[in-house]
């Protein structure tokens, strides 16, 4: 059992024995001791003072004495106000190190026998290429999936492609009007970008027509509804939902262009899915669910034929589920998608990685499913994340100011090439080795810079800041990993073989102990990241570990120490650190480099 958990487990019994009082386990708080104080773990005593009616210092000293007697791992303690700081025996840390220093799966849990978890991410529209916002979505979804995997959960990564609706018809109509038969092959333009260009053309023409109608005396709302091109696109949507063969043919052709483009981007990002759903299919299932809800009296039909749900008892108002012309809305297809996933996987949880602008939508979806008494209504979880911008500001797809994901990845590689070359990190490498390095450093910098931020927060992505070899960045961590492998390449091979460590407690230095303590935290970090569904926990841990190793590396010699026992210990400590850095970066989807 992890020592922190062991302390938490014995504390209620100690308090009952010492003071004759029962405490709730939720009031027990054990945390790492802050660096400015002596100790390894700290018990927060304040929550007990009211119940026990004693000063916190008195409670802390009595509990500390009892813990020293009860737990062999505890060496000593000190009390500062309401904080009981516990120091563990050095042997505890050395035994931990001896048991785990060569375990490449350290921090990972055995597979659980629970139902699987479905993680939906990416969810692109087939009217434009993936952009910077999609990158954050994909990286969060991929990392959360990896972290849940590491905690033993069965994970199904799924994508929901928004391949239908009026926005798709906008690109189609623009291509019919101005495309002159253009294709990705005839233009040399990547398929998703080509289709996105026609979406922008539609919007420009639409805004022009709206402006003309407003000048002619119409209100903004009237102008937007009466613009000729908008009427045309609404008619196209009706034809699509009616199965018009010519419209369906164009739709399939242009969607295939986009899918081919998406695949290129996903491969560059290192993203894959176990299953892809298409809204052109799920909305039909959603329509059936709406009709069933209508038959059961859960929903109601208005005089114009539209179908609604009354959520007033849930603190909301009426919500549209099907338009009067029979066409669906977003929630229609989401009802169908949720049912399909339940049928396909019977999951314990369905996680939707979707931006925070959709908070209200998922609140409504969950309430509608609850009214329908669906058995999976409480399994829905919206992993809501903040927006990502560039230093120049927000991006707008309608105006064509979106930062294309492919362009951004290319920029990151070029930036990595420029900076690594300037710093002399590529000396002695072949051209192919350099290209691999630029790709790993550039893509790693992009992923890390985005994932180190709490998903709930908005963020600004700065390409140049993300590739700083001395900053809170992936290049700094990757360089640390490469430094460790440089040491290991020079180390005697027999010193790298897995075997028990025999170093004496009297020989362990301060920085060695601090590094072991940080390595000891890794399993807790992996669990915390899963519980909070927050990759930044892992990202920031990886940086702290790299920083701690560099301090150790600069203060102590590894291979030139006089004592062979210490050399052997430090080689294994460096190797263990490398194992954990590699593992942590893998949970972020970042590939390591062994030479830089």
Q: What confidence score (pLDDT) does residue 74 get?
A: 97
Q: Look at residue 393 and tell me whether its pLDDT is greater than 60.
A: no
H helix runs in 326-404, sequence order: 330-345, 359-371
The answer as to whether 386 is a domain residue is: yes
CATH code for the domain of 521: 1.10.730.10
The count of domains in the chain is 3
Give strand pairing partners of 120. Answer: 158, 352
Residues 278 and 299 in one domain: yes
Helices 56-70 and 3-19, interaxial angle, to 10°?
A: 120
Residues 313 and 206 in one domain: yes
Q: What confidence score (pLDDT) does residue 400 get?
A: 45
Mean pLDDT (the chain, rounded): 93
Q: Pick the last residue of a domain from 88, 105, 130.
A: 88
Find the domain containing 56 and state its range. Answer: 3-88
Residues 413 and 348 in one domain: no
Residues 394 and 431 in one domain: no
The answer as to whether 116 is a domain residue is: no
Query: What would you measure as the largest C-alpha separation in the chain, in angstroms?
Result: 90
More confident residue, 395 or 338: 338
Q: Look at residue 271 and tell me whether its pLDDT is greater than 80.
A: yes
User: Could you tell me which of 316, 313, 361 has the C-alpha nearest to residue 337?
Assistant: 361
Residues 135 and 273 in one domain: yes
The answer as to whether 333 is a domain residue is: yes
Residues 46 and 130 in one domain: no
Q: What confidence score (pLDDT) does residue 498 get?
A: 58
Residues 379 and 410 in one domain: no
Residues 161 and 305 in one domain: yes
Calculate what percentage of the chain has a pLDDT beyond 90: 84
Query: Is the Cα dihedral 416, 417, 418, 420 positive or negative?
Result: positive
The answer as to whether 110 is a domain residue is: no
Q: Look at residue 499 and tell me whether its pLDDT is greater than 70.
A: no
Q: Pick the last residue of a domain from 67, 88, 109.
A: 88
Q: Residue 435, Cβ neighbours under 10 Å: how many? A: 13
Residues 499 and 455 in one domain: yes
Residues 223 and 283 in one domain: yes
Q: Tell me the pLDDT tens digit for each residue of 569-592.
A: 999 999 999 999 999 999 999 999
Contact assessment for residue 74 and residue 67, using Cβ atoms and an 8 Å cutoff? yes
The answer as to whether 112 is a domain residue is: no
pLDDT bin (cut points 50, 70, 90) of residue 395 is very low
The answer as to whether 65 is a domain residue is: yes
More confident residue, 276 or 391: 276
Q: Pick the last residue of a domain from 38, 69, 88.
A: 88
Residues 67 and 140 in one domain: no
Q: Tell me the pLDDT tens digit for each residue of 555-567.
A: 999 998 888 889 9
CATH code for the domain of 50: 3.30.1360.70
Residues 139 and 235 in one domain: yes
The answer as to whether 593 is a domain residue is: no
Q: Look at residue 96 and tell me whether its pLDDT is greater than 90.
A: yes
Taking the CA atoms of residue 250, residue 252, residue 257 and residue 263 in that order, the dihedral angle to the nearest 10 degrees is: 170
The answer as to whether 436 is a domain residue is: yes
pLDDT bin (cut points 50, 70, 90) of residue 399 is very low
Q: What confidence score (pLDDT) does residue 505 get?
A: 79
């Amino acid at each position: 059992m992890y020592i922190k958990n062991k302390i938490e487990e014995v504390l209620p019994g100690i308090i009952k024995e010492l003071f004759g009082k029962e405490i709730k386990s939720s009031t027990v708080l054990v945390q790492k001791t802050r660096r400015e104080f002596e100790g390894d773990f700290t018990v927060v005593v304040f929550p007990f003072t009211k119940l026990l009616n004693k000063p916190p210092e008195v409670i802390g000293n009595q509990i500390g004495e009892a813990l020293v007697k009860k737990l062999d791992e505890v060496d000593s303690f000190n009390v500062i106000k309401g904080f009981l700081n516990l120091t563990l025996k050095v042997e505890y840390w050395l035994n931990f190190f001896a048991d785990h220093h060569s375990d490449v799966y350290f921090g990972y849990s055995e597979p659980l026998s629970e139902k699987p978890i479905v993680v939906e991410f990416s969810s692109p529209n087939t009217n434009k290429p993936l952009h910077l916002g999609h990158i954050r979505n994909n990286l969060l979804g991929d990392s959360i999936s990896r972290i849940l995997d590491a905690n033993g959960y069965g994970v199904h990564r799924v994508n929901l492609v928004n391949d239908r609706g009026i926005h798709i018809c906008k690109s189609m109509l623009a291509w019919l009007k101005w495309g002159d038969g253009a294709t990705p092959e005839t233009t040399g333009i990547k398929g998703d970008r080509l289709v996105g260009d026609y979406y922008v053309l539609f919007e420009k023409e639409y805004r022009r027509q709206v402006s003309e109608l407003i000048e002619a005396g119409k209100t903004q709302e009237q102008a937007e509804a009466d613009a000729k091109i908008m009427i045309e696109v609404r008619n196209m949507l009706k034809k699509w939902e009616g199965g018009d063969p010519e419209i369906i043919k164009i739709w399939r052709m242009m969607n295939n262009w986009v899918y081919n483009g998406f695949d290129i981007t996903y491969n560059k990002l290192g993203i894959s899915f176990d299953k892809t759903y298409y809204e052109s299919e799920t909305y039909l299932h959603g329509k059936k669910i709406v009709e069933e809800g209508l038959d059961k009296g859960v929903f109601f039909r208005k005089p114009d034929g539209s179908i609604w749900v009354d959520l007033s008892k849930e603190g909301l108002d009426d919500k549209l589920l099907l338009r009067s012309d029979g066409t669906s809305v977003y929630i229609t297809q989401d009802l169908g998608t949720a049912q399909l996933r339940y049928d396909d996987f019977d999951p314990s949880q369905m996680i939707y990685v979707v931006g925070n602008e959709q908070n209200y939508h998922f609140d409504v979806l969950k309430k509608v499913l609850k009214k329908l008494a669906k058995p999976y209504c409480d399994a829905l979880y919206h992993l809501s994340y903040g927006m990502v911008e560039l230093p120049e500001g927000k991006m707008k797809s309608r105006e064509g100011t979106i930062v294309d994901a492919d362009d951004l990845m290319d920029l990151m590689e070029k930036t990595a090439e420029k900076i690594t070359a300037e710093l002399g990190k590529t000396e002695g490498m072949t051209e192919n080795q350099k290209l691999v390095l630029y790709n790993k450093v550039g893509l790693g910098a992009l992923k890390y810079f985005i994932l180190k931020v709490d998903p709930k927060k908005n963020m600004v992505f700065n390409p140049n800041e993300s590739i700083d070899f001395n900053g809170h960045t992936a290049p700094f961590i990757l360089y640390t990993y490469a430094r460790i492998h440089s040491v290991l390449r020079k180390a005697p091979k027999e010193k790298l073989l897995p075997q028990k460590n025999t170093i004496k407690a009297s020989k362990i230095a301060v920085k060695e102990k601090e590094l072991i303590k940080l390595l000891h935290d890794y399993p807790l970090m992996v669990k915390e990241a899963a519980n909070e569904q927050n990759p930044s926990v892992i990202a920031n841990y990886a940086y702290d570990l790299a920083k701690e190793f560099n301090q150790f590396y600069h203060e102590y010699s590894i291979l030139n120490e006089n004592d062979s026992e210490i050399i052997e210990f430090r080689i294994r400590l460096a190797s263990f650190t490398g194992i954990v850095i590699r593992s942590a970066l893998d949970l972020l989807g970042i590939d390591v480099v062994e030479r830089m």
